[in-house]
Structure 1
Amino acid sequence: MLLKDAIHKFLHYLTSLERSEQTTSGYEKDLKLFSRFLEKKYNCSPYLEEVSAADIEDYLLWLKEERNYAPASRARNLYTLRSFFAYAYKKELVARNVALSVENIKTQQKERVYLTEEEVQQLVGAIDHDLIRLVVQVLYLTGLRISECLDLTLDTVDLERKVIRVVAGKGNKDRNIPISDKLLPLLRHYVEHDRPYTDSDLFFCTKKTGKLSPVYVNRVLADAVEKLGWKKKVTAHILRHSFASQLVKKEVNLVQIQKLLGHSSLKVTSIYTHSNLEQLSEAVNVL
């Protein structure tokens, strides 16, 4: 079977599993680039069963030297290829998963950037756009991903029961987020006084387009950061990190944080347990 045909079957398989459009398009982009690399290398359309571990190693080296991909991006490509060949092996299209023979790419674990409560207040105060100011407060007080936040509908934000229902979040999982006492009056005021009359079912909407885009939210955030004169980069996702980090700092149980964030494992949630030197000093002095 031609590699490009196998890739097509794999992408169809992902769609049948109801993987998110973002996940599927990410796999598609990586695999098509790999396929083009091999076509150029061998000057023909490669067959799936002829792809070797050496081909993958050459590809990863090419990504580094010719495309200047960072270690994390190359590691993601290797993960994509392992998933693809795991599928091919499972469906008996190949005799073995050749991608497993390729060594892992070492990536430096970055300390997660997050904002203090004071910094969040400063950021909120520097945002001129009323709707995006509210979105930023929601992101910080719920830990929602930006896509989850902007996909909320009038039906999934239950102000009476004080709960936000995230439908088909990452990994196609549903979860409920309690609305805090601090956030509830802000959302009520928005629904009663500020939300425009529109046909849009989305909770956060504009009169003109009926929706908000993540790109626009991040652009307004960048403008506010520039206004404050900060050197750090702040995106919508940093507000999610900040939510988790502040809960850890206030000694909220890690399992509860995992449920709020919608993580599939505690290992992912544990990245937020970073501590500064002062906190570590306090910890050892407890003994």
Structure 2
Amino acid sequence: MNIKLLLEDFCHYAKYMRAVSPNTINRYRQQVSYFVEVSKTSDISAVNKKMVHSFFLHGRVAKNWSTATYRTYYMTLIVFFRWCMEHEYMEENFVESMILPKQEKSLPKALKKQEAFKLLEVVYNYPYTHRYLRSRNHAIFSMFLYAGLRKNELLNLKLADVDIENFTIFVRKGKGNKDRIIPMSHTLAQSLDRYLTERKKQGKTCPEFFTSSNRNQGFTVSGLKRLTTRIRSASGIDFTIHKLRHTFATLMVEGGCDIYSLSKMMGHSDIKTTTIYLSATAEHLRSQVYKHPLNIRTFV
């Protein structure tokens, strides 16, 4: 049976029966297709243990996969082959015999507080051609730094999801298809309110919260990518959208936010994922070490 045809059936099953997110579906398609390309086989019956092991060795040696990338391919193929076994297209899941390397415990990279302030200043003072761009772009970066949204979560926001009056942001079907509510600070509310005023003046009526400047439709992935490149160049600050999310979490911990609350705001399914931010900020650790009882007495 042709692997590409099976892949489409598998993706259809994952989407409608398991309610897997569109991003995960895209990952399934890309990574299984890459396996077909590298292994030079199109028939599922030709897949064997040696072929699967060679594929992962190719990724590690020729493509220099990180542990995270290796684990992602591992999870994709093990789920796909498991589905193939359930439908009797395969007799053995060859990925299960692979050694899964331990996840690297590197600290998340984040901007320092002064860098975050500078970034927002550059976004606001950039020489735009229209006032609408200034208010929209500042609101976008404020969302990342004051609410910690993921890229797709921001682009998928609807107008009805942002309640400035009650200071809340409703994230629909974030990672893992989970909904969550994020409280909004007064500073973020001011930026969003300024943007909505300009949005109304432009006559934008599309349901998306953030819109294109010259069209009545939602802001796009490519548009956000161009904006990020422009601001990165203008500010001289090396950042990614995900780094801004890490910055939100790190600054929240430095400000005294408890891990449970931060976990809910970040949309983490496991609070262990959030605890890494406790080690990511020296300020937080320094504030904790001052609590040592022996610090109350000095010896001369």
Quick one: which amino acid aligns to residue 220 of structure 1? Answer: L
Corresponding position of 1:223: 230
Between 1:150-159 and 1:69-78, the stretch displaced more is: 69-78
Say whether 1:72 aligns with 2:68. Answer: yes
Distance 1:273 1:89, change over 3 A: farther
Give the deviation of 1:225 after TM superposition. 3.4
Correspondence for 1:134: 139
* Pair 1:11 & 2:17 matched: no
Alignment match, 1:31: 32
* TM-superposed deviation, 1:29: 0.8
Closer, same or farther: CA 142–282 of 1 in aligned 2, 3 Å: closer
Unaligned runs of 5+ in 1: none
Equivalent residues, number: 280
SS in structure 2 of the partner of residue 183 of structure 1 = helix
Q: In the alignment, which of 236, 250, 253 is matched to residue 255 of structure 2?
A: 250
After superposition, the C-alpha distances for 1:177-234 in whole angstroms (9 at most, x for unaligned) are 122222222222222345421232211113412332234334333433333334xx31
Residues 222 and 246 of structure 1: CA distance in aligned 2, closer, same or farther (over 3 Å) = same
User: Out of 198, 203, 208, which is 1:197 matched to?
Assistant: 203
For residues 243 and 277 of structure 1, what CA distance do their matches in structure 2 show?
A: 15
Residue type of the partner of 1:248?
V
How far apart in 2 are the matches of 1:91 and 1:261? 37
What's the secondary structure of 1:172's corresponding residue?
coil
SS in 1 for 2:243: helix
Distance 2:185 2:55 in 1: 49
Q: Is the 8 A contact 1:166 1:176 kept in 2?
A: yes
| Partner AA of 1:6 in structure 2 | L
SS at match of 1:176: strand
- After superposition, residues 250-269 of structure 1 pair within 5 angstroms as 250-269=255-274
Q: Give the letter aligned to residue 60 of structure 1.
A: F
Deviations 1:96-122 (A, max 9, x none): 432111001355433211123321110
> Which residue in the other structure is 1:21 paired with?
22
Unaligned stretches of 5+ in structure 2? 127-132, 294-300
State the distance in 2 between where 1:7 and 1:276 align: 43
Q: Distance in 1 between matches of 2:31 and 2:2?
A: 17
Aligned sequence identity (%): 26
Structure 1 stretch displaced more, 81-90 or 53-62: 81-90
Question: Of the candidates 67, 84, 87, which is equivalent to residue 80 of structure 2?
Answer: 84
* Alignment correspondent of 2:296: none
- CA change 1:181–1:72 in 2 (3 A) is same
Aligned residue in 2 for 1:59: 55
Query: Measured at CA, do residues 92 and 266 of structure 1 come closer, stay the same or move farther in structure 2, by a change above 3 Å?
Result: farther
Normalised TM-score (structure 1): 0.86
Amino acid at match of 1:79: M
CA distance in 1, matches of 2:284, 2:148: 23
Distance verdict in 2 for CA 1:191–1:202, change over 3 Å: same
**Contact 1:3-1:47 within 8 A present in 2 as well:** yes
Query: Residue type of the partner of 1:197?
Result: G
Q: What amino acid does structure 1 have at the position aligned with 2:43?
A: P
Distance in 2, matches of 1:154 and 1:279, equals: 36
| Displacement of 1:282 | 5.7
Change in 2 beyond 3 A, CA 1:226/1:39: closer
Q: Aligned equivalents of 2:27 and 2:88: distance in 1?
A: 24
Deviation string 1:49-74 (CA, Å, 9 cap, x unpaired) is x5333221101122234444444323
TM norm structure 2: 0.82
